[in-house]
Amino acid sequence: MLAFTTIASSSCTLWCLLFLTLASGNGVTAAAPPRVGSGYKLVSLVEHGGALVGYLQVKQRTSTYGPDIPLLRLYVKHETKDRIRVQITDADKPRWEVPYNLLPREPAPPVTGGRMTGVPFTGGEYPGEELAFTYGRDPFWFAVHRKSSRETLFNTSYGALVFKDQYIEVSTALPRDAALYGLGENTQPGGIRLRPNDPYTIYTTDISAINLNTDLYGSHPVYMDLRSLAGHGVAHAVLLLNSNGMDVFYRGTSLTYKVIGGLLDFYFFSGPTPLAVVDQYTSMIGRPAPMPYWAFGFHQCRWGYKNLSVVEGVVEGYRNAQIPLDVIWNDDDHMDAAKDFTLDPVNYPRPKLLEFLDKIHAQGMKYIVLIDPGIAVNNSYGVYQRGMQRDVFIKLDGQPYLAQVWPGPVYFPDFLNPNGVSWWIDEVRRFHDLVPVDGLWIDMNEASNFCTGKCEIPTTHLCPLPNTTTPWVCCLDCKNLTNTRWDEPPYKINASGQTARLGFNTIATSATHYNGILEYNAHSLYGFSQAIATHRALQGLQGKRPFILTRSTFVGSGAYAAHWTGDNKGTWENLRYSISTMLNFGIFGMPMVGADICGFYPQPTEELCNRWIELGAFYPFSRDHANFASPRQELYVWESVAKSARNALGMRYRLLPYLYTLNYQAHLTGAPVARPVFFSFPDFTPCYGLSTQYLLGASVMVSPVLEQGATSVSAMFPPGSWYNLFDTTKVVVSKGEGSVKLDAPLNEINVHVYQNTILPMQRGGTISKDARATPFTLVVAFPFGAREAEAEGAVYVDDDERPEMVLAEGQATYVRFYASVRGKTVTVRSEVNMGSYSLQEGLLIEKVSVLGLEGTGRDLAIHVDGANATAIAASSPYFAGAEAELHGHHDHDVEERKKSVMVEVGGLALPLGKSFTMTWNMQIEA
């Protein structure tokens, strides 16, 4: 009953009346909820500048959560063939919206207080190429539907529109069987698919990711809606571009937004496939940033590398254990008293650090350090002095706002202030001159504050407290701020999962940014604005492709930074949760994402760390990171974990060309690196809630062990043939019926490639610089027992030092691969675009492994660039084969008929940068 009364609390809609009737009929006394608003009526609608502009007048004023805004402006525009924008705001004065210089987009007409004129619009529908807008006049409602099928995507007639200064409410009806994803960041215990009646609050907060169903570090008010219509999966997405705090109530047949400021600025993306949705979404918010090649290697960090010799020992430990490692990180251990852009002169002396960096840079390794936004209030600290001189800090009552984080009292830079951005860029440059780091890790940028309210530096005790073991306990003298409507708004969102005050452990919401912008409005943009400034700084000083890892994110952050899922716990539950969060960020346009492998705290068990590195080796961003209070958990600490790491990371490093090509495709189209299975199989409804497996790209399935003590995994496979990449003779032939039990001993993880795929792989190694120079193998996967089939794939290679990821002659090569089988004839060929880069790098293809065919090969013919080149392309070509081991749902005669699953053509030396064609015939040996 509680769920029903919550639904009705917004306005007494038909649903509310139905509930009251049912309640009274069952002898239940149900008090009518307060009437928040009575809706609006459309009083005019015109065509103006290629869009619709209308005006909405409030029907009856109410006082709950403040007075209604009497007149609203409606703006509707088909911005592209697959995107429509619907904006509703105050008709008389401008309201806060996400700044256009932070998130560039097509501007809506400015609000000037005057009525916009044009040709009166009298039609009942405003169609575009793919989407159409419909509306009702009194009361006003709007809907968006597909033009072709008339399928309704969004319909606000479910409830009354409420628009007050600090409270906006709008609802949409939904089909009960619609599968929704997104509305983050939060840790979702039920998996990736949104669950009715779970709380979805969106407001950036420094609260550990171990907290379930709670607003965490990022703000992404977007959801994808996937529906199965006549057996076909059809997807669209809805973005409410608003940076104010909000609660979103999903009830299964409805979704209600309750927003505490700003305006309604909806964008609808038509899809109809999940990949098309993300393409359309990232074309509007910004394409994912290209990542350097080494970023796809393995990373090691720990909060607690107390001196440089410990870091050196970690690198040596990985090398001795023959476990791949590309990047070593420092948390704040390298800093002098936790102050940004400094070095501890005792534990990280600059001469020794530079000597260490020279050594690892020569090997191809990289070094990244953490910086927090809080700048220590210290008159002897140059960073602080220069910031004060340039007046770059957020203010309260005309003075820099005082907070506390790791160094003690701090001020927060204002990244909405042009002076703040230029000062930050200069400080990054100065630090890079001091230490040539290869990237930056921006943390605590929600922004996190150990104190709450308006604070002063105490006069009766030191802050930070000397030798404290709890530096996160507030030691400033603070008082609560309850005298402003910004710190105590009339509607309380469910912040921190407990309706905490908006300024709890962050910047006071009545503080101001540049030009008087309220923290109340801009709060969730802080990490986003810092990432943009940091990206500008690194790109400007290095002339290389920047790498930034950020904790707090907003719509569009993926265009500048990678993300990790924050402070997780070393438990089996958190291992499982990491998958859903990772997949959500792919939908959000941040494909470079991963969780702290083995957990941030406390100590994981040896078995859990085994299973976590097996999964984490296939996160897009793969990093082990632990808390200073946890025992050491580098992957070589346990021999069994080291074995799992060599196995799983060994495969990751063989797959680096595939992952890097996915990085290129993400940059072009937004396509996630790690994806829910429904991205490739939207018609296969059993996978709509699948959160224990996922895809890398379109066709590599990761099926990890997520339960203690398990030595097998029950995996779901959409119909078709799936080949185990660790042993390609093992094949699952699925009809999509039920699950398949796969062996998964302690040191093994199941990773499969799907039929019709050509997968580029290399030999691997312990560092990406060496691995990327090794020869290629093409894994060609046909359906098992195929007589007529096609397969294709691609690889992108470039000089990843360049800031831009573009296909240009001499800088990059893109190769498409195609394969076919026609009876007994097999053909594998390539089409090369911009081949000179690959040729100058000497990249070669040494092997082609064809999966799914019966027999062995003969009569090999090779042509390179159209000429017969067998002699130069294959120094000693050979055929080899292996027998199949079948799993899954398949016909008995298939198992009897097929003996061989792999035919290997080895001993090749095909230049990657030249187009080639290979053909041979298959023969069955007695």
Q: Are 672 and 666 in contact (CB under 8 A)?
A: yes
Beta carbons of 522 and 416 less than 8 angstroms apart: yes
Q: Which of 68, 372, 427, 446 is catalytic?
A: 446
Distance CA 869, CA 874 (A): 8
Give the C-alpha separation, 58 to 161, whole Å.
9
- How open is the CA angle 441-446-451, to the nearest 5 degrees? 115
106 as an active site residue: the answer is no
For strands 622-624 and 596-597, give the pairing: parallel
In 3D, which of 719, 721, 715, 714 has the Cα closest to residue 681? 719
Is 630 within 8 Å of 601 (Cβ atoms)?
A: yes
Report the residue count for the chain: 926
Tokens standing for residue 160: 């009354």
Mark out the alpha helices in 364-493 (DSSP H runs).
382-390, 418-434
8 A C-beta contact, residue 565 and residue 616 = no
How far apart are alpha carbons 797 and 912 in whole angstroms? Answer: 10
DSSP at 332: G
The Cα 171–Cα 158 span in angstroms is: 6
| C-alpha to C-alpha distance for 881 and 257, rounded to whole angstroms | 59
Three-state secondary-structure class, residue 917: strand
Confirm whether 865 is a catalytic residue: no
Measured in degrees and rounded to the nearest 5, phi and psi for residue 721 equal: -100, 130
Q: Which of 615, 670, 230 minimizes the C-alpha distance to 679? A: 670
Q: Which two tokens stand for residue 371?
A: 């910086």
Surface-to-core class of residue 806, CB atoms within 10 Å of its CB (0-12 exposed, 13-18 middle, 19+ buried) = middle
| 495, two tokens | 């912040």
Residue with tokens 């050196």: 312
Alpha-carbon distances of 551 from 323, 548, 557, 675, 874, rounded to whole Å: 27, 10, 10, 21, 49
Which residues are CB-neighbours of 22 under 8 A, at least 6 positions away? none
Q: Report in angstroms the alpha-carbon separations of 167 from 257, 479, 496, 630, 849.
A: 10, 27, 19, 44, 61
Return phi, psi of residue 517, to 5°. -65, 130
Give φ, ψ of 419 to 5 degrees.
-65, -35
321 close to 625: Cβ distance less than 8 angstroms: no
DSSP reduced 3-state for 866: coil
Beta 885-887 vs 730-734: how paired, if at all?
A: parallel
Other CB atoms within a 10 A radius of the CB of residue 846 amount to: 19
Q: How many CA atoms lie within 13 A of 64 on its CB side?
A: 14
DSSP string for residues in 561-574? -EEE--S-BSSHHH
- Please state, in angstroms and rounded to a whole number, the distance separating the CA atoms of residues 504 and 527: 17
- 925 is annotated as an active-site residue: no
Burial per residue of 478-513, b for 16 or more beta-carbon CB atoms within 10 angstroms, e otherwise: beebeeeebbbbebebbbbbeebbbbbbbbbbbbbb
Q: Strand, coil or helix: what is 239?
A: strand
AA letter at 642: A
User: Which residue among the candidates 340, 427, 443, 634 is catalytic per the annotation?
Assistant: 443
Q: Which residues contact 9 (CB under 8 A, 6 or more apart)?
A: 33, 34, 36
- Give the three-state DSSP class for 352: helix
**What number of H helices and E strands is found in the chain?**
17, 56
As annotated, the active-site residues are 443, 446, 567
